[in-house]
Structure 1
Amino acid sequence: MSTLDGTETNNTKKFNKLFSGLEDCNEDEQRKKIEEMNEIIDGMNKEEFRSILTSELFNEILAMIEKKKMSMENATRILKHIGYCKVLKNVWNRCFEYSILNERFEKMIVEEDKKKEKKNEKLLIDLCECYLLLNGCASSELISTCVPCLLKVASVKEESEETRKEKEMALLTLSEKGYSFIEQELYLKKITEIIEHHQEHNNLTKLAYQSAWKFLINRFFNYGSLEYTVSNELHFGREAARELEELARCIDWKKKEGEEMNKEEAKEEITLMRWLQTSNIYFVGCYLQNEEYVELIGSIVQVFLAAKDNFSVINDLCIYPLRNAAKRRVVKVEDLLKGGAVYAILEGMQRPTLNKDIMNDGLQFLVNVSYRLKGKEKSENDEMKRKATKRKIFEKMEEKGYEDTITSFHEVFEFLNKKYYSDLSLNISDYLVNV
């Protein structure tokens, strides 16, 4: 089996050597080799991992299954791990989707699910996880089969290390089914119970808990009615804020970006980034005012400031939810001020090294705040609050010399508009709060 560009690193050489010897092993020897291969996959960078995700890999696994040279248990053991790492390494690849193995798994899931007697529940779970993790465009029929199956795994109350791993795999798999339409009756009661049970008993891993939330919030785009449950019953704002703060304490922010991390550190960093991405979806889709916005904004700001020197990817991910929060009228400008977002963005915009994402999204954030503070409120009390908030922001802008910064950015507005299709205003006064 060759890599995509014909070259091999040490990791890919080791992986390919082990893979080529699988056919000649008995089941136990094969299982040990697969465990070794899975460890090698963990240590691969994105490019190395992409290079092994080929149609050839999936076709050879299918050939071994059909020749009875590999058991389904061993096949799903390696395929699930590949799918798991595909998600955590954030690698987009459609080789499985176009493989014959994909078609075979679809058929097996349907056949196993239809069985009235002697249904192999473990096989069905393994097949569902492999299929959904590796397949970017799963069929709606099979999603409807897989979702209840995996929620059943995630709902197990038993406490053991093995059970926690199984629940993490099931919830991570579910979380990757983006905006696919799924009937509420297939998931809402179960996923709500899973989240509530964790809040009381702390029975999920951090990644599993985040994945449960991601699965639920991804449904916003089909069911706006979910927002009351998410915001006021399950308290997403409070929970996301706490998780971000806990994960932020686990990361060594002085470590240079790209420096080697141990497996647990890397997983915590990935989980934190997933919370930021899910918070962004939350702010894009929210329509209810909520007191927990301040808490969530404050936690995102803490991560934004901690990441500014050595973690540019995380720093960029922080600004998206802040920018989108500033767009939403349900998030008060006062909430952005209390959470520290306005001060953090002002500070971020004046960094000596400033990337295009921070510049563009920071400008979007500030122009949204500026527009919202220009309109008068109907009630006298709200109008007094608006003026007080406006005064605070104006004073901070003056203190930071923000007007000079905006003037210096003016030449790049046209470039940013072309690159991001963001329609940034060319009128400098739109970026300023005038008292």
Structure 2
Amino acid sequence: MSTLDGTETKNIKKFTELFCGLEHCTKIDQKQKIIEINEIIDEMNVEEFDSVFTGELFNIMHKIIEEKKISIENALVLLKHVGYCKVLKNIWSLFFEESSLNERLEELIIEEEKKKEEKRNEKLLIDLCECYISLNYLLLPEIVSICVPCLLKVAMRKEENEEIQKEVEMALLALSCIDEFEFYGQELHLNEIKEIIKYHQEHRNLTHLSYLSAWRLLVNRLWVDNCLEEVIVNELHFGREAAGEIEDLSKCVDWRRKEENEKRRKESKEELLLKKWLDEVGICASECKLWNEGFAGLIGIIAQVHRAAKDNHREISEKCIFIIVLSVEKRAVKLDDLLKRGAVNAILEEI
């Protein structure tokens, strides 16, 4: 396993060493090694991640699972983390759908779902569904129809302890991928998603990633369902909420850090989430005809982020300018507000 230029990095070398040792140790030792592997995955940049997680690696995982050299439970802990990082880091393809392991996950999901409720292993089914959706780019509608109600049940849990919140985060992250791949035939479950968002607005119980994922479930549907505009803009106050999230995240970014090769630089979680929020705002700016006073504040925050990002974080800066230009073209925000909040100056600086 090597990077694109053929040089093996410290992260890749350590990952390979630990991964190759999984089949030669006890179940308890495997758990510890997987914890270490997941920590290494967190440290990987996009280039390292791409070079490690290939169809060949997933085929090897399938082989050692079938040979009972690693338990399915331990394998799923690793696969869930790979899927989590893939979505968070915007990795476009792992070729997981071409692997024998993908076919095996589909079989296991169907087998588990067919069991009578008292015999079903709910934890196993949840883990299988999360791995299948987060790792895949070719989701089968019949599998998705099993996964959606299963994961929504997890996503709607309201306990605020850390373990439950991690489960909620992973379930929402997986669910937010489904619309991204245009499985629009699936029921939206609008009432459940609204409940998750409204409860957070009142109690602030979700992580930043969980809350973003819940919004993605709605906003990404705007491409095909403009009827959601009223819910998104006026009922759930997207402009106000996005402004608050973007402002909070922007305070955690090191804006002085100089831009490097995009694939080689390890971005902070706050940077990754900030970019994802800007993408959702961009969809709203493109698709919404309804705007309210919350968007004036949102555009002001985005102008501030642009000014902070323009020297060393060009991708973030460009996303901000795209949104500001769209809001001007659509006259979504009054000219006085654009001038007052520095949005017009941000555009002029780019000309």
- Residues 55 and 99 of structure 1 are in contact (CA less than 8 Å); yes or no, is this contact kept in structure 2? yes
Gaps of 5+ in 2: none
Match of 1:320 in 2: 322
Cα distance change, pair 179–237 in 1 and its aligned pair in 2 (3 A)? farther
Report the alpha carbon displacement of residue 184 of structure 1 after superposing the two structures with TM. 7.0
* Aligned match of 1:271: 273
Report the counterpart of residue 146 of structure 1 in structure 2: 147
Superimposed CA distance per residue, residues 382-413 of structure 1 (whole angstroms, 9 cap, x where no aligned partner): xxxxxxxxxxxxxxxxxxxxxxxxxxxxxxxx
- How many residue pairs match? The answer is 345
- Whether 1:194 and 2:196 are equivalent positions in the alignment is yes
Runs of 4+ in 1 over 6 A off after TM superposition: 1-5
Q: 1: CA distance between counterparts of 2:144 and 2:341?
A: 39
| Residue equivalent to 1:396 | none
Q: 2-side partners of 1:320 and 1:306: how far apart?
A: 16
Contact kept in structure 2, 1:15 and 1:37, CA below 8 Å:
yes
Q: Could you say if the C-alpha distance between residues 330 and 9 of structure 1 is closer, same or farther in structure 2, counting changes exceeding 3 Å?
A: closer
Q: 2:295 aligns with which of 286, 290, 293?
A: 293
Q: TM-score, normalised by structure 1?
A: 0.75
Seen in structure 2, the aligned counterparts of structure 1 residues 38 and 232 have a Cα distance that, compared at 3 Å, is same
TM-score normalised over the length of structure 2: 0.92
* Cα shift at 1:182: 3.7
The CA deviation at 1:98 is 0.5
1:183 shift after superposition: 5.2
Q: Distance in 1 between matches of 2:194 and 2:148?
A: 14
Would the aligned equivalents of 1:241 and 1:299 in 2 still touch at CA under 8 Å? Answer: yes
Deviation by residue 1:279-309 (Cα, 9 ceiling, x = unmatched): 0011111022422221111111111111112
> Cα offset for 1:265?
8.1
AA aligned opposite 1:129: E
Specify whether residues 220 and 186 from structure 1 end up closer, same or farther in structure 2 by C-alpha distance, changes over 3 A only: closer
For residues 116-152 of structure 1, give each alpha carbon's deviation from its aligned partner in whole angstroms, at most 9, with x where no partner exists: 2311111111111111111012122222221222121
1:300-379 equivalences under 5 Å are: 300-349=302-351
Deviation at 1:201, TM superposition (A): 0.7
Give 1:323 deviation, angstroms.
2.5
Given the superposition, is the C-alpha separation of residues 3 and 256 from structure 1 closer, same or farther in structure 2, using an over 3 Å criterion?
Answer: closer
In the alignment, is the contact (CA less than 8 A) between 2:2 and 2:12 conserved in 1?
no
Name the structure 2 match of 1:72: 72
Gaps in structure 1 of 5+ consecutive residues: 350-435
SS in structure 2 at match of 1:250: coil
Deviations 1:226-268 (A, max 9, x none): 1111111100000001111111122232233359xxxx98111
Residue type of the alignment partner of 2:64: M
* Alignment CA distance shift 1:347-1:192 (3 Å): same
Q: Which residue of 1 aligns with 2:23?
A: 23
Q: For 2:206 and 2:172, how far apart are their aligned partners in 1?
A: 10
* One-letter amino acid of the structure 1 residue matched with residue 87 of structure 2: V
Measured in 2, the distance between the counterparts of 1:245 and 1:83 equals 27
SS in 2 for 1:253: coil
Deviation at 1:6, TM superposition (A): 5.6
Aligned residue number for residue 112 of structure 2: 112
Q: Highest Rg: 1 or 2?
A: 1
Q: Does 1:282 align with 2:272?
A: no
Counterpart Cα distance in 2 of 1:55 and 1:181:
24
Contact 1:55 1:96 in 2 (8 A): yes
**Other structure's SS at 2:249 match:** helix
Alignment of 1:100-139 (within 5 A): 100-117=100-117, 118-139=119-140
Aligned pair in 2 of structure 1 residues 92, 340: CA closer, same or farther (>3 Å)?
same
**Cα root mean square deviation, aligned:** 2.1
CA contact (8 A) 2:325 2:347 kept: no
2:321, 2:346 within 8 Å by CA — same for their partners in 1?
no
Distance 1:179 1:91, change over 3 A: closer
Tell me the equivalent position of 1:366. none
1-structure distance, mates of 2:61, 2:5: 21
Structure 1 residues 289 and 48: alpha-carbon distance in aligned structure 2, compared to 1, 3 A threshold: closer
Q: Which residue of 2 aligns with 1:158?
A: 159
**% identical aligned pairs:** 57
Structure-2 separation of matches of 1:2 and 1:100: 23
Could you tell me which residue of structure 1 aligns to residue 251 of structure 2?
249
How far residue 186 of structure 1 moved from its aligned partner, in angstroms, is 4.5
1:97 aligns with 2:97: yes
Contact 1:181/1:222, CA 8 A, preserved across alignment? no
8 Å contact from structure 2 (residues 233, 291) kept in 1: no
Name the CA shift for 1:120/1:4 in 2 (closer, same or farther; >3 Å): farther
Counterparts of 1:265 and 1:40, CA distance in 2 = 14
Secondary structure of 2:96's counterpart equals: coil
SS in 1 for 2:206: coil
How far apart are the structure 2 equivalents of 1:179 and 1:323? Answer: 27
